[in-house]
Structures are given as structure tokens and as C-alpha cells.
Amino acid sequence: MSDFVLFPAPQQPKELHLVGLRLDPTIEGPQLFALIEQGAGGGRTLTAQGRILLFSTPALAARTLELANKALASGPGAGVISAPLPKETDILCDVAQSLYLLNSQTEDSDGVLLDCIACLDDLLRASQLNVPAPYISVLNALAERLERNSEFGGFLAEQGIDRETVEDAMLWCVGAIAVKSTWIG
């Protein structure tokens, strides 16, 4: 047995995850997709020229990866993503269902709202935009609550958080992601 530490450390395997975004409540399933590279250090949404790469069908995942790799190869610390492409949607950011829950329910028993807030957070980090303080504070408070307890209606009332403010925060996030994206169709 050796006590030596390998230097440089061996590369940790990375995976690509297909994220689906459902915006339209009248359509079953996601309308937009993004790729997130997941490694030991966390996740990173694929971008090119500082813009999130969104695409309209999973069949465009390879083209999206190609664009991201082209941007990475020409940037500082040049490198490319070599993880295999996912075959199906791993994560669903169901904005439509989340807004429904937020406006008409008191519980997030399936974790849809929590997953949506977490996904929007990941995408916003990639956009490098700062969320307005009132919006980030209500989203963080709600996410912290949902991590411990799926009931949120009473929590919002106790904290004096208006459901409309949370809805505005989520819609701001969706809009920010949309304008900081390149859409591949």
C-alpha cells in the first residue's frame, strides 16, 4: 500500500445530463432542452460565447455539444467535453406545473417546484446575470423550506411572502434565461 498521492490527480468522470424545460401547460413534455455537464466539482450548463445553449429537440443535443466544444476549444484553458450524450431527459424543469402549484396549491409533494427553482438557479448561474435581491431572497427562502417540508402555503403566509412575488421571481428568471440564450432549432 502506498501513501503517495497521484499528481496530477486523476480526472474524475464527467456526465452530460439532458434538461427539459416545460413552459406551456397545454403541451405534455418539455419544449426546450439544455445540456448540463456534471462532474465531481458540480454542474455546468453548456454555453457558447457567454450564452446558454437551448435547443428544441433532443436530436439536437449533438449539435449543441459541438457548439459548446467549439467555444471551449477557442477559450482560455482550452478543452472539450467528451462525455457521452444522454439518450433521454434526466431532469425536468416544469415551469408550467410549478406556476400552477404556486398559484393554487399549498404543497409540493412531488418536488416539482423545488426541482424547478434548482434548475432555474443552475441556468441563471450560466447566464452570469444577477437576480434582483427581492426575487433571490424569496426563491431561496422557498427552496430552503421545500428541502425540509413539502408544505409551502402556510410558510408563505407566515413569512408574509406574497405568491405573486414568487411568481414574478420565477418569470423574471425564465425571461433572463431566454434573453441570455442561443436557441438551436
pLDDT digits (tens, 9 = 90+) for 164-176: 999 999 999 999 9
CA distances 25 to 73, 93, 111, 166, Å, are 38, 12, 17, 18
Please, are residues 143 and 118 in contact by the beta-carbon 8 Å criterion? yes
0.75 surpassed by pTM: yes
How far is the C-alpha of 89 from the C-alpha of 102, rounded, in Å?
A: 24
Residue 145, CB half-sphere, CA atoms under 13 Å: how many? 22
Amino acid at 139: L
Q: At 92, is the pLDDT very low, low, confident or very high (cuts 50, 70, 90)?
A: very high
Under the phi-then-psi rule, with left for phi > 0, alpha for psi from -120 to 50, and beta for the rest, what region is 69? alpha
Select the highest-mean-pLDDT range: 25-34, 40-49, 69-78, 84-93. 25-34
Provide the total of helices (H) and of strands (E) in the chain, helices listed first: 6, 7
pLDDT digits (tens, 9 = 90+) for 118-156: 999 999 999 999 999 999 999 999 999 999 999 999 999
pLDDT at residue 81 greater than cutoff 80: no
Strands (E), 10-141: 15-22, 32-39, 42-45, 47-48, 51-55, 89-94
How far is the C-alpha of 60 from the C-alpha of 26, rounded, in Å?
A: 23
Residue 6: the pLDDT is: 60
Residue 185: the pLDDT is: 83
